[in-house]
Structure 1
Amino acid sequence: MRRTPHWAAQHLAAVRVVLVLTVVVGLLYPLAMTAFAQLPDFRHQAHGSLVTAQGRAVGSSLIGQNFTDAKGNPLIQYFQPRPSAAGNGYDPTASGASNLGPESVVDQLPTAGQPNSGKPSLLTQVCARSLAVGQLEHVDGSRPYCTPDGVGAVLGVYRSGGLTGAVTRVVSLNQACPTKPFLTSYQGVAVQCAKPTEDYSAALTVPVRGNAPANPVVPPDAVTASASGLDPQIGPAYARLQAARVANARGMRVADVLKLVSQYTTGRALGVLGEPGVNVLELNLALDRSHPYPAKEA
């Protein structure tokens, strides 16, 4: 009797392994996990942890969403989430961060006639968001290294010896002409506005702290996006900052709004991991149930 060649036996064994693994890992295992996920204790999570209101899905408890009007303006009756860098904001198909770090302090200024051609630095994004939150909540939105008009307070300083020597020229790198620079002079030299088409790479980058408080009123999670861009929670401090606005819009007492904030605040995982958070969607839905907007007149 002829024996199967050694090379053929090896190939047949490999084919059998592929077929078995395909059935087990590619078919049986997924079906088993799908069936397991439909058990009563897991069905809600398996279907996306959807949150419903009046019989329809309005979001997920795991993914944040914006509460804005058609023009992108914050709705005053709702708590606002933290910023998002996922697509146009909280896009689950584009989850991710901005990938900008602490050295991102100089803007790419837009060219004339093309307002969308520029790109703000991380510092300017933080400054602009802090200013906007301050205006919305009627608090001081100033931050260190930010100008009063909400861009990064960064100078481009030219010296006679390159890195050393007397200052010969100073430019406010993030304030395009004809904007008036946030400083009139630096070490005796007048500060100029920036021209979008000019190259300032030879200048020394000098951030200016300014006189903003060391601990800004607007908390960090109000001005920075999460790593995923989908974080559904904000910190208790940011929620408390918004309480007065929401209470006024809905005709409630601030104390009652703060009680709801506490109710929807979750602690650290396992008591030690992460920070306490407030689920914005669930809190806003609770407000809609208890005090619908617009507020009814007494």
Structure 2
Amino acid sequence: MRLPSWLSQHLAALRAVLVLTVLLGLAYPLALVAVGRLPVLDGRADGSLVTVGDRTVGSSLIGQSFTDADGNPVPRYFQSRSSAAGGGYDPTATAASNLGPESVVDRLSTDPADSTPSLLTQVCARSKAVGERDGVDGRRPYCTPDGVGAVLAVFRTDGLTGRITRVVSVNQVAPATPFVSTWQGIPVEPARPGHDYVAEGGVVTPVRGEAPAAPAVPADAVTASGSGLDPHISPAYAEIQVGRVARERGADPAAVRRLVRAHTAGRALGFLGEPTVNVLELNLALDEELPAR
């Protein structure tokens, strides 16, 4: 006796579900686990962990911060780039900040917990901090000397045109002094927390300033990677840190540069990406060959 067509169709669908479940839900994952346990691949499958003696100190694939208990950079170590993954380099919260080039106005509040710096201010603050820590020029275009975005809200009588009636440095709160005292003859005032000057009609006006077109602090020193877990920095960022690391360790800068070169990887396949320096591996080599005196 032939089964009704609707029942035959349902049985065929059920068989397909069972077969695909066995193949894709069991056989395929188990096969990948088995491949990952091969002698050449097992280290990568376990997370490419780096050990010193019997102690696991990190992963060659996941970055980490080299800071003290208070979150301050440890001067004798090369510093990684910033991370937007959770509290920093959190593999369970890998992500970027989702802030783009138009993020130039800070959200200012009387409660510091409710204040949110724009991407521009984050870049400016990081560049200033790196410049001070490593003894280089930390100035960048569109940044104020105190390390926030150099952005004005310009109010005009007719919105976008007409006579200027008011100018506010939107990222600087009193008692900070505005980075320019006047704008086209109008005194510049500091911002007040809780005010949305753009919603109030101010035209956002970034000011380039007199910073060099090619900043001494490289881009990867002031931005986070897309994943938030990048363990590498550029050779340029490593180079500006050489003097500080050598001084803190009482070592010859040439010896530190030699270790940087030894831990610099070239472009993938010879032409993809840029050369990179693995910060963890470099710092471990420093502790082994040039321990702090």
TM range (shorter): over 0.9
Deviates more, 1:232-241 or 1:172-181: 172-181
Q: 2:157 and 2:12 mapped to 1: Cα distance? A: 76
The answer (yes or no) to whether the contact 2:152–2:206 under 8 Å persists in 1 is yes
Which residue, out of 156, 159, 164, partners 1:162?
A: 159
The Cα offsets for residues 106-152 of structure 1, whole Å up to 9 and x where unpaired, read as 100122xx222110000000000000001100111111111110000
Which residue, out of 96, 117, 120, partners 1:120?
A: 117
What are the equivalent positions in structure 2 for 1:17-56 lying under 5 Å apart?
17-56=16-55
Question: How much has 1:85 moved relative to structure 2?
Answer: 0.7
The answer (yes or no) to whether the contact 2:108–2:195 under 8 Å persists in 1 is no
Other structure's SS at 1:196 match: coil
Match in the other structure for 1:227? 226
Superposition misfits of 4+ residues, deviation over 3 angstroms: none
Match in the other structure for 2:91? 92
Question: How much has 1:9 moved relative to structure 2?
Answer: 2.1
Q: Which amino acid aligns with 2:173?
A: A
Other structure's SS at 2:114 match: coil
Match in the other structure for 2:178? 181
RMSD of aligned Cα (Å)? 1.1
Q: 1:78 and 1:89 mapped to 2: Cα distance? A: 17
Match in the other structure for 1:271? 270
Q: 1:90 and 1:219 mapped to 2: Cα distance? A: 20
Other structure's SS at 2:32 match: helix
Q: 1:145 and 1:244 mapped to 2: Cα distance? A: 28
Q: 1:199 and 1:73 mapped to 2: Cα distance? A: 33
Q: Which amino acid aligns with 2:176?
A: T
Q: 1:128 and 1:148 mapped to 2: Cα distance? A: 10
Q: 1:203 and 1:275 mapped to 2: Cα distance? A: 41
Q: 1:131 and 1:141 mapped to 2: Cα distance? A: 5
1:142 aligned onto 2:174: no
165 and 251 in structure 1: CA distance in 2 versus 1, 3 angstrom threshold: same
Which residue, out of 192, 196, 211, partners 1:195?
A: 192
Q: 1:8 and 1:186 mapped to 2: Cα distance? A: 79
Match in the other structure for 1:106? 105
Other structure's SS at 2:158 match: coil
TM-score, normalising length: structure 2: 0.97
Q: 1:50 and 1:197 mapped to 2: Cα distance? A: 46
TM-score, normalising length: structure 1: 0.95
Other structure's SS at 1:259 match: helix
Gaps of 5+ in 2: none
Match in the other structure for 1:63? 62
Q: Which amino acid aligns with 2:287?
A: D
Query: Number of matched residues?
Result: 291
Q: 2:12 and 2:100 mapped to 1: Cα distance? A: 52
Q: Which amino acid aligns with 1:193?
A: P
Other structure's SS at 2:187 match: strand
239 and 12 in structure 1: CA distance in 2 versus 1, 3 angstrom threshold: same
The answer (yes or no) to whether the contact 2:178–2:188 under 8 Å persists in 1 is yes
Deviates more, 1:18-27 or 1:189-198: 18-27
Gaps of 5+ in 1: none
Match in the other structure for 1:78? 77
Q: 1:109 and 1:61 mapped to 2: Cα distance? A: 38
Q: 2:108 and 2:2 mapped to 1: Cα distance? A: 77
Q: 2:252 and 2:160 mapped to 1: Cα distance? A: 58
Other structure's SS at 2:112 match: coil
